[in-house]
Chain A
């Protein structure tokens, strides 16, 4: 088993995902429309009701649209991670996952390749979103567009790993609606994507704690700080650890002797 085999297989998987993404224009458009609706409509309406104090990484008073932008970058990655997970469940039901699973490479590597493919797609979406936001006068220092890149890799990997983890435990496509209700929405609304932590503390101490420990919050903060050229080490390590934990469980979930197959009762 040489390194070239791994390299070719990884590019095969990434190439396929990117091709599918480019071909599925509706998916691309809807992935963009979602955060833009939040930005243009929700944020515009909401800014009058929410007063924001100056908190790091911001150095002046900011518009709500500016605050929400990193959250929406995270949102794109969150939805993308779940979309990849949905396509894994779909592939499994349709059988095309089998082709991947019977190829002579370790499963962890196949899953990591799938993950990289998903992250690449999500980063592409984020930059297109940032370009549109830029025309809407939401700008960060130009270096921020570079600094945010590694943050997007880590945040995308963590959310993608969460998607993989879920896909290994979801038996049928129909159960996926539950993921929307029980994972995506709570994760999104219980995070710093839409409102800062201190604001949540004012309304509920509990909510504040939940939001603080929500890995999505930390991913958003990582993105937010790096977008303004700052490094938030707590968010970085929290997201990194969450990534490893999710990935480990996902790999175990796809292991035929430990994961979902055994859950189905096989022995």
Chain B
């Protein structure tokens, strides 16, 4: 994965994005961007609008209000160019449990139009990085939750996307599995120049250099560095800052 497409323009740019379900606003005028080589943590309690935002970025939903640009391509207009630069790990497992790891990954490379030779090479690279190559012939059903997640992360990277979206990928995992996934993703950002947008409500998944967006009831309450959020809320920990921003509690 030495040649991930590194571009100077933002990997993701959201402009004036709003979305409503049955008249109720789920997202309210969002504006933010994720730059290359940046890990942005989208922090928000359940129901903040994180999954809705991800559905709009991946064009599972469409919004009439606002714009989503992936590497300069409008998701609504230049959908295919935009989606080819995107890797996604959804909150729910999206692997086919009755197929082997290899079959699942080959399905993905086929959808991205990769040749057999190219896909074998990429699958080996990504699985080896996650120490999963030896298990490639096992059925996904036989893997534990942490290993399934690893396969999904490997899969999302096979076509060398510029931006990786992770929608609460560590939910339901034990602590060592969680830590290993968090570490792996940060390595990808630091060593391979990937951009990441990581939705979570788990504060211990944040690294000091990460960018932070706090989403609450469909609105951005803060965006900037960790240092910035502490200063802004006059708190000492992200936990406290998060409480101030989402519950209005003074600490």
Contacts and interface: CB of A to CB of B under 8 A. Distances in A.
Interface of A: 1-2, 4-6, 8-9, 11-13, 15-16, 19-20, 23-24, 94-96, 98-106, 256-257, 261-262, 264-267
Nearest to A14: B110
A94 B22 CA distance: 24
Nearest to A23: B98
A256 B62 contact: yes
B80 A1 contact: yes
Contact of A98 (B60, B64, B82, B99): B60
Contact of A266 (B20, B86, B88): B20
A99 B111 CA distance: 9
Given A94-B92, A96-B94, A261-B62, A9 B113 contact: yes
B22 A19 contact: no
A9 B113 CA distance: 6
Given A264-B21, A265-B22, A103 B90 contact: no
Contact of A12 (B63, B82, B107): B107
Q: Which size bracket describes the interface of B in this complex? A: 35 or more
Contacts of A264: 21
Contact of B113 (A5, A98, A99): A5
B64 A8 contact: no
B114 interface: yes
A216 B114 CA distance: 39
A4 B115 CA distance: 9
Interface of B: 19-23, 26, 58-65, 76, 79-84, 86, 88, 90-96, 98-99, 103, 106-115
B64 to A, nearest CB: 6
Contacts of B20: 265-267
Contacts of B81: 104
A19 B107 CA distance: 12
Contacts of A98: 58, 60, 88, 90, 94
B51 to A, nearest CB: 11
Contact of B111 (A4, A105, A267): A105
A20 B80 contact: no
Given A261-B60, A266-B21, A266-B62, 7 more contacts: A8-B115, A13-B111, A95-B92, A104-B82, A106-B79, A256-B61, A256-B62
Contacts of B115: 8
Contacts of B91: 95
A100 B107 CA distance: 10
A102 B83 contact: yes
Contacts of A266: 19-21, 26, 61-63
Nearest to A100: B111
Contacts of B65: 267
B60 A256 contact: yes
A167 to B, nearest CB: 15
| Closest 9 pairs between A and B when the two form their complex, measured CB to CB | A12-B110, A5-B113, A265-B22, A95-B92, A257-B62, A103-B111, A104-B84, A104-B83, A256-B62
A15 B20 CA distance: 38
- Point out which of B19, B90, B98, B107 has the most chain A C-beta atoms below 10 A from its C-beta: B107
Contacts of A96: 94-96
Nearest to A95: B92
A256 B95 contact: no
